[in-house]
Structure 1
C-alpha cells in the first residue's frame, strides 16, 4: 500500500445499513486506527470481509500502465429535450494505472461525464472523439445498480450471476445506450442491402477492418471487409453498435469469460472473494442488507475481469470496515479505476488524479504519479 494510506481515515458513504456482512467481532474504528496499513491483517484474522479483485491482464499492445486505453477528446453533451449543454468540449484519458475521481458541485454533471466516458451516453453528434482499445473490458456499477437487484429478489446471489452472464456476456453492459440496438434499428437491419451483422475482425497494419454482412434478397447476404474509419463516417450509427457488440464478444472470449464455467462452485468461489460466504450466497437476495447487496453488485461487475471499473458512489450502504476493504482492493487492482464519490476520505485514499467539472468544463489535477504503479 502507498505510504499515504497509513494515516488515512475512511468514513462510510452512508449509514443506511450497518450490516454489510462483517464479523461481529470486528471493532475497526476507521478514525482511530493507523488505518489501512492494518486492513490486510484484520482480513486475514477474519475481522473484515475482503474484496479480492481478479487480475485482468493487459489488452493487446498495452505493455505498460502509462499507455492510454480509453480517451475522450473535445466532447460535448446535452439531453435531447434540453437546449443547453451540460458538458462542453470535455476531454479525459485513462490508463491501466489511472485512479481517477470525478468531482464537482451538485448538478454539475459528474455522473453524466462518467456515463459519457464509459459509453452509457452518446456525445452530441459532430463533437469530439471517443476512443477505447478494441479489446478493452469495462464494467460499470451505477448508482441505480441496487434498484436493478429488485428484479432478482427471489433469486440467490449464485443464481443472479448465472442469469446475468448466461450468454457469455454481461447483460447489464449490453444495456448501455451505445450498445443496445433499438426496435427502429432492428427494422433498418432487415431492409434490402442494409448491414445486419458483423462476422469478423482483422488488424491490417495500424487499422482495424470488420467483415460486415448485408441483407440479401434470398436471405443469404453478401459480406464485405470495411475499415473502422469508414464505418464511423459512412455508415448508419447502428452499424457502430454492431461493431461494438462484436468487440464485446471478442473481449469475453479473450478474458475466458465466454467459456468460464457458470457452475455453482465457480460462482461461489468468486462470491467468496468479495466477502459473500456460502450462507449468504445460498440465501435470497431480498434477505440481504444494503451493504451485502452493494458487495454483490461490485462482485458481479468483476466476473468479466474488467480492465476498467467505473463506480458511481460505491461506498453507499457500506460500513467502515467494508469501505476500508474496498479501498485497499482498489489500490491493489491491476486495472483502471474511475469513480464519482462524495466520500472525501475514500477519494483521497485511492485517487491519483482528479477531474473537476467547473462551468461545463473538465479541469485535470494530477495528485500523484498516476501512471507509474
Structure 2
C-alpha cells in the first residue's frame, strides 16, 4: 500500500494539473482512479476511518474542493485503533495536501490529525516511509503560522512524529527501509529445520518451506518480533516439516531460531525468555482492552503462572489500573471464569455508608467471604487487629489500617490472584515491611501489583509485565533486572524533572498585617480531639503554628493522628476535647485529602472544566462550605438565637445575617442585617462582639469571601482554567473534552491539585501527595513546592519526598506531637519584609473575565519619608514660602 497509493495519487494530481480544461482523458483518469482506489481501500481495516473512505476517495480525486471538507470531518474523529501502514498510505497524501492550505484553522486541524494518528503507530518502521511527506510540511508551517496556539499544536505534532520515527531531522535523510522477501527468508527456515532434524530433505523450493518463509517475511516487514505471535503464526506449519517423534517438542525451538536470526539481521535486539512450562498456568489469553474511546491494549497476550508476583509497569495512562479492574470484573476476553480462577481486587477505599460499621461487622457483611466469625476474627488478629480494635468503627481507621483491612478480606476470600493497586499508599515503613513478607510468603497465590514504590517492587516481584505500545510483555526477575532490559523504564521510578514537564503553584496574595514570612497564619493551642465511638482521644494537647515560610513534614506510624491533625487545621473537623484553632481572617488554604479522589468522586461524569465552573461558580469554593467548621451544631444554633437580639435606640432587633466586613484598628467590624428591616437599617458590630454572640461561623463565611477578593478574583473562564491546569501537567484536551471518569489516577490527582490551588492559597496542605503520581509528576511537584512563595505542609511516608522539601518535622505518635526544626515566632519575626510592588502591578479581573482598570493613587510614603516631608513643609512655612500643594494651585 505505501508503494501504490501515494504514487497513484501524485499521478492523478499531476494529470489534472497538466490538463488546461476538463476533457475526456481527464474523465477517464478519474473513473479509473476511483475504481482503483475503491479496491485498494478495501484493504484498510482501521475502524476509525472506514466510514470516511468514500470522502477520502473524493478528496484524492478532487483535491481542491474536497480536501478542506474531508479534513474537517476527520478533525472531529477520535482515533483509537492502531494505525498501520495501509491506513497511513491512504491518509498521507490527504494530510500532505492539507499542509498547503492557507487557512490557519485547517492547518491546525491537519496537525491535530497527524499528532493523534502518530500516537497510535506501533513502531518507527511503519511511519518511516511517510516522514518525508509530512515532516517538511509541518516544519514549514511551524515557521510561518501566526497564531501562537495553532503553532503550539503544529510543534507538538512535529515532536510526536520525530519520536515515533526516531529522527531529529525532517525525515528526508533516513536510509531506505530493508524489506524481507520470501526468497530471503527461506534459507533461514531451512537452516533452522536442519539444525533440529539433520535428516530433513526440505529445501528452499519446497512449497511448505515457501509458505513458512512468506509468513516470516510478513512478520519481519511488519516489525513484529513478539515471540508469542511468531509461535502462534508458525508453530503449526513448522510442526509439519518435522518428524512426528520430535515435532511436539522441537517446533517452537525452530521458530525461535528463525526469530532470533531474523531480528539480528534487522538490527533488532530481542531476548526470548523461557516460558517456564513447568509452572501451572492460571491464564494464557490474547485480548484487546479499551477505556471509553481510548484503546489501551491491542491483541495483547497475558500469561500468568501460579505463585508468581508480577509487577505491572508503564507510564500513567497506559491502562495499568484499568487492566486490573477489567480482570476483576471479568471483562478480559479469554480470562478464566471466577469458578476456575478467583480474583480479589485489594483497595483501601471504603464506601462512605460503611464508616459507622465496626470492623468485624464490615468483614462479615462481605458476601464473597464464606468464613465463620471465629475464623474472621482470627485472620484479623494475624494482620494486627486486636479484639478491641475489631470493635471500633471503620471511620476511625487511618489509610494504612484500611489497606490492612482490605488484605485481611483477601486472605479470607482465598483468592488465586490478588490485584493490588498502589498497596503501599498510606503504609508506614513497618507496615510496608509486613506487606513484603506477607506477599513473598504466598506460594500458591499469584499477585499483580501496581506501585510507584521502586524499592517495594524490587523486593517482591518475580516478573515484570510491561505495558507499552498497546502490548503486554513479560520480563523475568525483579524491577532491577527489568530496567537492565528496558533502560528507558528507569524514568518511571526516578525523581528527575523534564524541562517541558513542570508544575507551577500560583503566587499567594498579600495578607493584612503580615509583613514577613515568619509571622504565623495558623495556630493551634492545647487542642484535643476524639472520634465518636472510640475508647481514647486521637490527639492530646497539640500546639503548633504555620507561616508562609513553613516547610513541614508530618511523620508518624499509621494511626498516629497525622490525618486527624490536618483535618482540624483545615476545618473538616473541630476540637472537641478543648483547645483553640486560629487562622488569619483572609487566609486561603489549598488542601488535598489523603484519599485525593474524594474531592471529585461525585463529579466523575463532568469534565475538569465543568467541575471547576461548578465548584467556583459563586466566587467561593463550594467544597469549603461543606466543611465541619461551617456547619452549625444544635448548640451553636441555640447560642446564635440567644445572641441575635440587639437593642438599637431602645428598640429590639433580631440579627438575620452577617453581610460585609471592614477594617477596625487591629481587627474588623461586620455589617449585620436585621429581620424585617431594609439594608439602610444595617449596623456594624466588632468581630469580638459577634463571636461572643455565637456568630463565629457567619463571621468565617464573610472572612472567606473577603479572602477571595483579596486574592484578586480570577476570571472563571475556559482559557484561564486551561492555563491553570496546564501548570499541573494536564493538557487542554483532557481539561475540556474528557470526563474525569476516563482519566487515569495520575491525571485525576492533577485535577485535584489544580482545583485546590485555584484561589491562590497562602498555605498548601497535602495528605499523602505521592499516592497515584508517577515519578515524573512527583519530581515536578517537588520542584514546584520548592519555589512556592507560600507555606507547605505534607503528610507522607515517602522519605525521599519529605527530605527534598521539608525543613520542619512534626512527629506524631499515639496522639502526641513532637515538633523539631521549626522557627515559631511571636509577632512579625526578623525575616525580610514582603515586597508589595509586584502585587500592586498585577492585572485584576472580575468573575466574567473582564480586566478591571485600576487607578493608581498617590504613592503612600513610609513613616520616615512622611516625617521628612512634614519637616520640609514646616521649614517652608517658617520662611514664608508656599507649600508644594499651594504651588500646584
585, 601, 624: which is aligned to 1:173?
A: 624
Say yes or no: does 1:161 pair with 2:609: no
Partner of 1:275: 729
Structure 1 position 171, deviation (Å)? 1.3
**Which of 69, 86, 94 lines up with 2:538 in the alignment?**
86
Compare 336-345 and 200-209 and name the one that shifted more. 200-209
Q: Secondary structure at the match of 2:771?
A: coil
Cα shift readout 1:232-290 (whole Å, capped 9, x = no counterpart): 3x323xx2111101000001111122xx2222111111111111112212212111000
What is the match of residue 150 of structure 1?
601
- Please give the alpha-carbon distance, in whole angstroms, between the structure 2 residues aligned to 1:203 and 1:170: 24
Residue 71 of structure 1 corresponds to 523
User: 1: distance between equivalents of 2:748 and 2:801?
Assistant: 19
Match of 1:137 in 2: 588
Q: Could you tell me which residue of structure 1 aligns to residue 718 of structure 2?
A: 264
Instruction: Tell me if 1:352 matches 2:807.
Output: yes
Deviation at 1:144, TM superposition (A): 3.1
Aligned partner of residue 43 in structure 1, secondary structure: coil
SS of 2:769's equivalent in the other structure is: coil
Q: Tell me, yes or no, if the aligned pair for 2:725 and 2:731 is still in contact at 8 Å.
A: yes
Check 1:16–1:279 CA distance in 2 against 1; reply closer, same or farther (3 A cut).
Answer: farther
Give 1 or 2: higher strand fraction.
1
Structure 1 position 181, deviation (Å): 4.5
Q: For the Cα contact (< 8 Å) 2:509–2:710, is it kept in 1?
A: no
Let me know the Cα RMSD of the aligned residues: 3.3
Instruction: State the match for 1:248 in structure 2.
Output: 704
2:658 is equivalent to residue 204 of structure 1: no
Q: What are the within-5 Å matches in structure 2 for residues 92-103 of structure 1?
A: 92-103=544-555
Aligned equivalents of 1:62 and 1:367: distance in 2? 19
How far 1:88 sits from its partner (Å)? 1.4
Check whether the contact 2:537–2:815 (CA below 8 A) recurs between aligned residues.
Answer: yes
Structure 2 CA distance for aligned equivalents of residues 165 and 108 of structure 1: 34
Deviation at 1:81, TM superposition (A): 3.8
Once structures 1 and 2 are overlaid, which stretch shifts more, 53-62 or 329-338? 53-62
Measured in 2, the distance between the counterparts of 1:81 and 1:32 equals: 41
Query: For the structure 1 residues 189 and 95, does the alpha-carbon distance in structure 2 shift closer, same or farther, using more than 3 Å as the test?
Result: closer
Q: Which residue of 2 aligns with 1:230?
A: 689
Counterpart in 1 of 2:107?
none
Q: Say if 1:358 and 1:81 are closer, same or farther in 2 by CA, change over 3 A.
A: same
Quickly say closer, same or farther: Cα 1:223–1:16, change in 2 above 3 A. Answer: farther
CA distance in 1, matches of 2:559, 2:748: 27
What is residue 327 of structure 1 aligned with on the other side?
A: 782
Rg larger for = 2
CA contact under 8 A between 2:520 and 2:824: conserved in structure 1?
no
Change (3 A) 1:28 1:253: farther
* Residue of structure 1 in register with 2:4 after alignment: none
Residue in structure 2 matched with residue 43 of structure 1 by the alignment: 499
Tell me: CA distance 1:368–1:132, structure 2 relative to 1, closer, same or farther (3 Å).
closer
Normalized per residue, which structure has more helix? 2
Structure 1 residues 209 and 138: alpha-carbon distance in aligned structure 2, compared to 1, 3 A threshold: same
The residue aligned with 2:675 is 215
Conserved? CA contact 1:75–1:90, under 8 Å:
yes
TM-score normalized by the length of structure 1: 0.81
Give the Cα–Cα distance (whole angstroms) in 1 for the partners of residues 823 and 640 of structure 2.
Answer: 48
Paired position in structure 1 for 2:819: 364
Give distance in 1, aligned partners of 2:658 and 2:488: 55
Residues in 1 aligned to 2:746 and 2:759: alpha-carbon distance in whole angstroms? 22
CA contact (8 A) 1:189 1:195 kept: no
Measured against aligned partners, the alpha-carbon deviations of 1:111-168 in whole angstroms (never above 9, x if no partner) come to 000111122111126x222211111111211123303322222211111111111111
Indicate the residue corresponding to 1:115 in structure 2. Answer: 567
200-209 vs 313-322, greater mean Cα deviation: 200-209
Indicate the residue corresponding to 1:302 in structure 2.
757
Contact 1:212 1:223 in 2 (8 A): yes
CA distance in 2, matches of 1:359, 1:118: 21
Distance 1:214 1:277 in 2: 49
Report the 3-state secondary structure (helix = DSSP H, G, I; strand = E; otherwise coil) of the residue aligned with 2:811.
strand
Contact 2:545 2:824 in 1 (8 A): no
- What displacement does 1:213 show? 3.1
User: Is the Cα–Cα contact under 8 Å of residues 17 and 319 in structure 1 kept in the other structure?
Assistant: no
Once structures 1 and 2 are overlaid, which stretch shifts more, 76-85 or 284-293? 76-85
- 1:12-48 CA-to-partner distances (Å, cap 9, x unmatched) read 9758577xxxxx9x94847997x55xx2xx223xxxx
Q: 1:310 to 1:273 in 2, by over 3 A?
A: same
Aligned CA distance change for structure 1 residues 129 and 189 (closer, same or farther; 3 Å): closer
Kindly indicate whether the alpha-carbon contact (under 8 Å) linking 2:524 and 2:542 is maintained by their aligned counterparts in 1.
Answer: yes
The answer to which structure, 1 or 2, has the higher relative contact order (CA under 8 A, 6+ apart) is 1
SS of structure 2 residue aligned to 1:327 = helix
SS of the equivalent of 2:514 reads: coil
How far apart are the structure 1 equivalents of 2:764 and 2:804?
17
CA contact (8 A) 2:551 2:791 kept: yes
Seen in structure 2, the aligned counterparts of structure 1 residues 222 and 334 have a Cα distance that, compared at 3 Å, is same
**Distance in 1 separating the partners of 2:517 and 2:698:** 29
User: What are the residue-to-residue correspondences of 1:20-39 with 2, within 5 Å?
Assistant: 27=488, 29=490, 36=496, 39=497
Query: Structure 1, unaligned stretches of length 5 or more?
Result: 1-11, 19-23
CA contact (8 A) 1:28 1:321 kept: no
Deviation at 1:212, TM superposition (A): 2.7
Per-residue deviation, 1:317: 0.4
